[in-house]
Structure 1
Amino acid sequence: MPNIMIVDDEEPIAWGLRRAFEREKYRVGVAASAEDGLAQARKNPPDVVFLDVRLPGMDGLTALAELRAIAPAAAVVVMTAHGNLNTAVKAVEGGAFDYLAKPFDLAQAIDAAKRAITRPQDPPASQPGLAHEDIDPSPDAIVGRSPGVQAVFKRIALVAPTNACVLITGESGTGKELVARAVHANSPRRNKPFLPVHVAALNPNLVESELFGHTRGAFTGADRPRDGLLALADGGTVFLDELADIPLPVQAKLLRVLERQEVIPVGGGEPQTVNVRIVSATHADLSAAVRDGTFRHDLFYRLNVYPIHLPPLRDRIDDIPALAEHFLRRFGVANPAEVLPADTRAFLKSRPWPGNVRELRNALEHAAIEARGGPLRPEHFPEPAAAAGPVGVSERLRSLVTEWVRERTRQKDGEPAELHQQLLDTVEPALLDEVLRQLDGNRLVAARWLGLARATVRKMIRKHHPAADEPDDEG
């Protein structure tokens, strides 16, 4: 019977995990401190340890190194409600088998336990314990504790030590370059160059020369040989932003770099060996570009070895206060928490932010200037951005629904009720009217388009347009 140890000082979490594991027929031990957990592990080495980071006395990351020495065959699953990228990276470096961000479903914990028990027995070498910080003051910090951001931290920590290509996706303004920098900074290449290449900003006729270099006389104006960005980044990481804008002829040469680690300068015939890691990003749908023939499918598969998707800000609104304090700290505000009163925090969380984190940062800088050192108030912020890049109709609709729900839940006249029906009453007439308009009122076909029975469509019409005439049955 597998032996699982839970090290967590939060009794409800420890109790819930214990009950869940016991239902799976595991033998379970519980410790409320790292010291107690280590003592239990010495007496009875566990197969799996669920280890919280914040503990009284010794912290979890320090205990991780000691656990790896005491029970080297044990798989350690690190748990935290206060994780940042630093925590995730150090957990993986310290030999953690998995990383769970609280709150998590018990099903996730059970799945982690099953994977740990059935894994190949090849434990990584122990690493020294490392302290962690809740606040990362660096300008390249990725800030957030939401589940979506915690998942990003975990994926960065897992892929950074490898040489795998990483494809970062997400809307404009979500922080794709920050993720690329984090992958590089936590990799063995950290002391070598990191070169960001914004493909869309390059002259389309010179993209090949910029990336691969050129020989003397390769084209008009090439009066001397020049190394390309891939050669200049030798040993390091190249970040290709707006990947979808790379011309097809250049894509073929980039594929050669990935497959053979060599470049051929424009006008040259001899390949040059390079050692670079490619991290790329796009807000476009590359799968659609592959289907349309504007992006090579073989290159897509080589670049998409390990995808990392960044959630839009509207899907992580609980991170907004922490992001606001982070940016204000960067603007030189000494007490960011004190200049963000509760009503301003609520206001920031209520806005849709179509430009994502970039728009939030710019709005905060504007407000800090307007506030002149005082508290930031809603009236100090600029009007919402009118346009923030290409966002599909479905995304705009989702954003509007999110804003609609927040508006209803902010109302002061008690708890909201029947939100689902209210939303249906709001959008159903527009859906019905537009379908009928396109079909010249043909209710039979409208029912097929809507996927509803004809009787249901008639009821909808009577509900929203009681004065409408009831026509004869359409043929």
Structure 2
Amino acid sequence: MADAVKPLILVADDDESHRLTINKLAATWGYEVHTAKNGEEASEKSRKNSYSVILMDIRMAVMDGITALHKIKSHDPSIPIIIMTAYSSVASAVEALKSGAYDYLTKPLDFDELKITLERASDHARLKAENLALKSQIRTQAGSRQIIGNSVAMRNLKATLSMVAPSEATVLITGESGTGKEMVARLIHLNSLRHDRPFIAVNCASINENLLESELFGHEKGAFTGAISKRNGIFMQADKGTIFLDEIAEMTPHMQAKLLRVIQEREVQRVGGEEYIKIDVRIIAATHQDLVKRVKENTFREDLFYRLNVVNMRVPSLREKTEDIPSLCQYFIARLSEKNRKNIIGISPDAIKALISYDWPGNVRELENMLERAVILSIGEYVTESELPPSISKKNDENILDKCLSLEDIEKKAIMVALDAAGWNKSEAARQLGINRKTLHKKLKSYGID
């Protein structure tokens, strides 16, 4: 197995002994280190290399740290820059924070604090890069979904999809509500030879029998009240493409017989018409019900079941693939953050633990809806357990939304929950909240909390 790539950092300081000391320490902590003697050299190197973090002294000859900070941020605003300053120059460090510095450290450096700050900044850079990559991937998919997860169940589903999609086989997709059956149907179509032709989905449970027949097969002018002109049905509209019949178990016996004939003869007849029209469509059906049981109960035609069930693809419930929850969360958070104009880059370990222990009756759809709520509520760069609903987060004894609290009160409550969870370790609480330690200290001071 190849060695993991070491995070690359730049240390800029005109004090050679200090520069070399940090270089040696950072190397022992697992970083690859470049050095610069002044701000101008640091700016030049930042254009040629992709650094995870830049550690830069504020007072340097040739070009000072503040000027270098502005130059570096002008061509790459995403690089976390940690400013080093003497205690007497803290005011200048605050100016640096306002200019976009990630954090600052006072000299002489506390090396334990340096190590923690470097780790936090490099993690921040990595998560931000992953988030940007996910957002780019989402944009290039033009709104389409993908199968997220690498559990055994999902690997089996992907393998089946790759074999089935290029064929012309009729497919029956089964699984609980909210598992993503329509997404699987769309992926089958997109990976088939019909991918450049129409994909049309219809929910058989949402349309009454008379309207469903017209919707699927079309109608002639005057076939029924309101039929003011001839209309082609979905089977004709989807010619050379794919039709997806969701909730197929809800079809009445009359419609089941009609559909069986269409599948057998590959032709349709408009309602009120006499002409049979040849069609070339691939049929994918889906249901959350047990069709074998429905056949035994004589509520679903056995011959239609076998026509539809040429290939059966079962989409697993979220309970069966809890190991996929972290990757699903990262995917949804990236997409929902962009949709809601938020800057959320990840989810805390405590929140992931709570999500994995939940039963998920609504499956992936419920997870997505819950994460959208959490993204909207988040005040930092991470979704935390505080933003999860009480049904999921056992730690939440009350729902802050139900209290009609002000944004300030919500923020204060989230900070207190994070501090309690971190045992009042402010560095850890700040990490969970997605803010730096100085920001947390400032907020605590404004709330009168010591």
TM-score, structure 2 as length reference: 0.54
Instruction: Using the TM superposition, give the Cα deviation of residue 379 of structure 1 relative to its aligned residue in structure 2, in angstroms.
Output: 2.0
Find the aligned partners of 1:175 and 1:372 in 2 and give their Cα distance: 30
Residue 197 of structure 2: aligned partner? 192
2:204 paired with 1:235: no
Match of 1:266 among 268, 271, 279: 271
State the SS of the aligned residue for 2:201.
strand
Residue 368 of structure 2: aligned partner? 361
Equivalent pair of 2:170/2:284 in contact (CA under 8 Å): yes
Find the aligned partners of 1:302 and 1:192 in 2 and give their Cα distance: 23
Equivalent pair of 2:171/2:285 in contact (CA under 8 Å): yes
Instruction: Using the TM superposition, give the Cα deviation of residue 307 of structure 1 relative to its aligned residue in structure 2, in angstroms.
Output: 0.3
Equivalent pair of 1:212/1:227 in contact (CA under 8 Å): yes
Equivalent residue runs for 1:412-431 within 5 Å: none
Instruction: Using the TM superposition, give the Cα deviation of residue 337 of structure 1 relative to its aligned residue in structure 2, in angstroms.
Output: 8.5
Distance change in 2, residues 1:342/1:223 (3 Å): same
Find the aligned partners of 2:343 and 2:280 in 1 and give their Cα distance: 43
Instruction: Using the TM superposition, give the Cα deviation of residue 255 of structure 1 relative to its aligned residue in structure 2, in angstroms.
Output: 1.2
State the SS of the aligned residue for 1:217.
coil
Residue 381 of structure 2: aligned partner? 374
Deviation digits for residues 107-126 of structure 1 (CA, Å, limit 9, x no counterpart): xxxxxxxxxxxxxxxxxxxx
Residue 413 of structure 1: aligned partner? none
Identity of aligned residues (%): 46
Find the aligned partners of 1:206 and 1:219 in 2 and give their Cα distance: 10
Deviation digits for residues 397-421 of structure 1 (CA, Å, limit 9, x no counterpart): xxxxxxxxxxxxxxxxxxxxxxxxx
List gaps (5 residues or longer) in structure 1: 1-8, 11-133, 386-475
Distance change in 2, residues 1:278/1:378 (3 Å): same
Deviation digits for residues 101-156 of structure 1 (CA, Å, limit 9, x no counterpart): xxxxxxxxxxxxxxxxxxxxxxxxxxxxxxxxx96633411101000011110111
Residue 66 of structure 2: aligned partner? none
2:346 paired with 1:346: no
Residue 293 of structure 2: aligned partner? 288
Equivalent pair of 1:230/1:276 in contact (CA under 8 Å): yes
State the SS of the aligned residue for 1:280.
strand
Instruction: Using the TM superposition, give the Cα deviation of residue 203 of structure 1 relative to its aligned residue in structure 2, in angstroms.
Output: 2.4
State the SS of the aligned residue for 2:313.
strand
Find the aligned partners of 2:342 and 2:356 in 1 and give their Cα distance: 20
Equivalent residue runs for 1:92-241 within 5 Å: 137=138, 138=141, 139-241=144-246
Find the aligned partners of 2:209 and 2:250 in 1 and give their Cα distance: 9
Residue 90 of structure 1: aligned partner? none
Equivalent pair of 1:200/1:242 in contact (CA under 8 Å): yes
Residue 260 of structure 2: aligned partner? 255
Which structure has the greater CA radius of gyration?
Answer: 2
Find the aligned partners of 1:342 and 1:168 in 2 and give their Cα distance: 34
State the SS of the aligned residue for 2:264.
helix
Instruction: Using the TM superposition, give the Cα deviation of residue 352 of structure 1 relative to its aligned residue in structure 2, in angstroms.
Output: 1.1
Deviation digits for residues 414-448 of structure 1 (CA, Å, limit 9, x no counterpart): xxxxxxxxxxxxxxxxxxxxxxxxxxxxxxxxxxx
Residue 455 of structure 1: aligned partner? none
2:307 paired with 1:305: no
Instruction: Using the TM superposition, give the Cα deviation of residue 338 of structure 1 relative to its aligned residue in structure 2, in angstroms.
Output: 4.5
Higher relative contact order (Cα pairs below 8 Å, separated by 6+ residues): 2
- My pick for the range that moved more, 268-277 or 339-348, is 339-348
Find the aligned partners of 1:279 and 1:287 in 2 and give their Cα distance: 18
Instruction: Using the TM superposition, give the Cα deviation of residue 380 of structure 1 relative to its aligned residue in structure 2, in angstroms.
Output: 0.7
Residue 26 of structure 2: aligned partner? none
Equivalent pair of 1:197/1:241 in contact (CA under 8 Å): yes
State the SS of the aligned residue for 1:206.
helix
Equivalent pair of 2:344/2:382 in contact (CA under 8 Å): no
Deviation digits for residues 337-382 of structure 1 (CA, Å, limit 9, x no counterpart): 9531211111111111110000000010000111134321112112
Find the aligned partners of 2:214 and 2:342 in 1 and give their Cα distance: 48
Find the aligned partners of 1:230 and 1:349 in 2 and give their Cα distance: 42
Deviation digits for residues 258-280 of structure 1 (CA, Å, limit 9, x no counterpart): 11210011111110011000001
Find the aligned partners of 2:380 and 2:269 in 1 and give their Cα distance: 55
Equivalent pair of 2:157/2:315 in contact (CA under 8 Å): yes
Task: State the AA in 2 paired with 1:265.
Answer: R
When the two chains are superposed, the root-mean-square deviation of aligned CA atoms in Å is: 2.0
2:337 paired with 1:332: yes
Instruction: Using the TM superposition, give the Cα deviation of residue 205 of structure 1 relative to its aligned residue in structure 2, in angstroms.
Output: 2.5
List gaps (5 residues or longer) in structure 2: 3-132, 393-450
Find the aligned partners of 2:235 and 2:211 in 1 and give their Cα distance: 14
